[in-house]
Amino acid sequence: MSSKISRENFIRSIADLLRKAEIELPDDVVSALRKAETAEESQVAKSQLQAILMNIELAKRHGVPMCQDTGIMIFFVEIGTEFQPGFDLETAIGEAVILATAEVPLRPNAVDPLTRKNSLDNTGVGIPDIHWKFVPGNQLKITAAPKGAGSENMSSLRMFNPTETGNIKNFVLETVMNAGGMPCPPLTIGIGIGGSFDAAARLAKEALLEPLDTPMEGLEKEIFEAVNALGIGCMGLGGSTTALAVHVKTAHCHTASLPVAVNIQCWANRHASVVFKGEE
Amino acid sequence: MEHHLQTPLKKEDIEKLNAGDIVYISGEILTARDEAHARILDMEKEGKKLPFSLEGAAVYHCGPLMQKTENGWNVVSAGPTTSGRMSKMTPSLLKAHAVRAIIGKGGMKDVADSLKNKCVYLAYTGGCAALAAELIKEVKAVYWLDLGMPEAVWVLRVEEFGPLIVGIDAKGKDIFAEVREKAQKRLENQK
């Protein structure tokens, strides 16, 4: 059994997927921004939200990336246990990134962390960053989520003592407070609680992919309301919407640990998915 | 209040602006981010003349994505970058040159004093690169391409570039600082 798709067609599809992610925001994100604009009472914040909505419209109309920071390339791959691609997915995704960088075009953002030398094609050691997950079935789902640096730089991780669950909310609030207008609010806030040092960060990043209209519960709702009560507002100029949504993902952790990761996402919560079906 | 300004900017143009006002700029703006700021200051120290004029200039914190065409350059996207990174270099820049407006995103900590009676900080909506590209009508010139595309100084002709919010006015009023202070108080009350 092998997949129906050839390596060439796969690379084409993934390059197109990246183009889509860079140019068009998911509907749930656009409608959350529209809602924020309607509800906003500060005229300054309203003007900023209107500029964002106009920018989204123009990017789509002209087929250009919505933001000049076209991000670092991150992919989430869910591969069915029965799905056999018949070629190496990792190198094929890398080639798709190089293709999209030249075609769309995307800003070359990937550099060596110490020499700061730019690879000029958005690939490099560990980049694209691919998160693999096995799921039941005979299909392959790939999500492209290019991430900008302005918001990623404002993210935070802390290893709490196990008795400090009550401090999680304040940690998130302080993270948002220190970030101010720099990560381009209104934000999506992904919180990973538990797991290990690195697993918490992965959970936080996955939480950013949750549809924004997913109802928030318990701690999510509590943090969401507290963040918006700060009044930082769109672009840090003051206003009622600092966050569009707060989503929490948890995992069991060591009895002696409490890792908490906060991944900050700017208004441009870019991501797009494609599904390949395996042969019957 | 809404203002429509033309570059080069005069002192009188910016003195009438109040924090929170909306501004649209037409004329020429120059991009400069980390590396360009560093080079401008180095040249000042060495007593060298800049290849472009900053007299009455509007400096835009922006690392654009450009595409080379047959006749020059095409702006693909050109939104603002985080101004906070340029905070430390800005007082020296303003001491050496009569820059009248700084355009960027996220605000700048501890520069309100250096801006007083000289210059304003204008906030442009972060991430709005497609909108910015639409309002940039022409790439007039590029300097220091050796610094790389995002770090070079691009001279751009713009029409009604905005909406820009006066984030810090020339009288020392800083919206970002006020929002931060209020948020800090609210945070303390929530604890």
**Nearest-neighbour CA in chain A from B72: distance (Å):** 17
Residue B186 token pair: 């609210």
Range in A37-41, A114-118, B17-21, B165-169 the model is least confident about: A114-118
Mean model confidence pLDDT for chain A:
96
Average pLDDT rounded to a whole number, residues A53-81: 95
pLDDT tens for B12-47 read 999 999 999 999 999 999 999 999 999 999 999 999
Whether residue A57 is contained in a domain is answered as no
How many other β-carbons are positioned within 10 Å of the β-carbon of residue B39? 19
Residue A212 token pair: 């924004």
Question: What's the farthest any 2 CA atoms get from each other in chain B?
Answer: 60
Reduce the DSSP state of residue B31 to 3 states and report it. Answer: strand
Nearest beta carbon to residue A177 from set B62, B79, B183: B183
Give the domain range for residue A235: 149-265
Average pLDDT rounded to a whole number, residues A179-200: 97
* Contact call for A232 and B183, based on CB within 8 A: yes
Q: Give pLDDT, residue B149.
A: 86
> How far apart are alpha carbons A91 and A82 in whole angstroms?
21
Q: Indicate whether A1 pLDDT > 70.
A: no
**End-to-end CA distance of chain A, in Å?**
8
Task: Give which of A119, A13, A28, A23 is closest to A75, Cα–Cα.
Answer: A13
Banded pLDDT at A68 (limits 50, 70, 90): confident
Q: Indicate whether A2 pLDDT > 60.
A: no
Whether residue A188 is contained in a domain is answered as yes
pLDDT tens for A193-209 read 999 999 999 999 999 99
Long-range pairs for B177-180 at CB < 8 Å and ≥24 separation?
A: B177/B107, B177/B109, B177/B112, B178/A238, B179/A180, B179/A181, B179/A231, B179/A232, B179/A233, B179/A236, B179/A237, B179/A238, B180/A177, B180/A180, B180/A232, B180/A236
Long-range pairs for A213-219 at CB < 8 Å and ≥24 separation?
A: A213/A28, A213/A31, A213/A32, A214/A245, A214/A247, A216/A245, A216/A246, A216/A247, A219/A168, A219/A169, A219/A248
Banded pLDDT at A3 (limits 50, 70, 90): low
Whether residue A22 is contained in a domain is answered as no
Banded pLDDT at B191 (limits 50, 70, 90): confident
Whether residue A226 is contained in a domain is answered as yes
Set of chain A residues whose Cβ sits within 8 Å of the Cβ of B131: 51, 54-55, 58
Chain A interface test: which of B179, B180, B182, B186 (most A C-beta within 10 Å): B179
Chain A interface test: which of B23, B105, B125 (most A C-beta within 10 Å): B125
> How far apart are alpha carbons A234 and A269 in whole angstroms?
15
For residue B130, give the H/E element and its range.
Answer: helix B129-135
Average pLDDT rounded to a whole number, residues A160-181: 96
Task: Give which of A95, A119, A94, A89 is closest to A107, Cα–Cα.
Answer: A119
ipTM attached to this prediction: 0.87
> How far apart are alpha carbons A73 and B55 in whole angstroms?
40
Alpha helices by DSSP H, listed for chain A, are: 7-23, 27-39, 43-62, 89-103, 149-152, 168-179, 197-207, 218-229
Nearest beta carbon to residue A66 from set B81, B129, B182: B129
pLDDT tens for B74-126 read 998 899 999 999 999 999 999 999 999 999 999 998 899 999 999 999 999 99
Q: Indicate whether A14 pLDDT > 60.
A: yes
Task: Give which of B66, B65, B62, B109 is closest to B82, Cα–Cα.
Answer: B62
Task: Give which of A180, A177, A277, A173 is closest to A235, Cα–Cα.
Answer: A180
How many other β-carbons are positioned within 10 Å of the β-carbon of residue A225? 13
Reduce the DSSP state of residue B35 to 3 states and report it. Answer: helix
The domain tally of chain B equals 1
Whether residue A180 is contained in a domain is answered as yes
Task: Give which of A243, A218, A216, A223 is closest to A173, Cα–Cα.
Answer: A223
Whether residue A19 is contained in a domain is answered as no
Question: Is B37 a catalytic site residue?
Answer: yes
pTM of the model: 0.92
| CATH number for the domain that contains residue B130 | 3.20.130.10
Whether residue A198 is contained in a domain is answered as yes
B4, B37, B61, B97: the active-site residue? B37
Q: Indicate whether B155 pLDDT > 60.
A: yes
The domain tally of chain A equals 1
Give the domain range for residue B135: 2-190
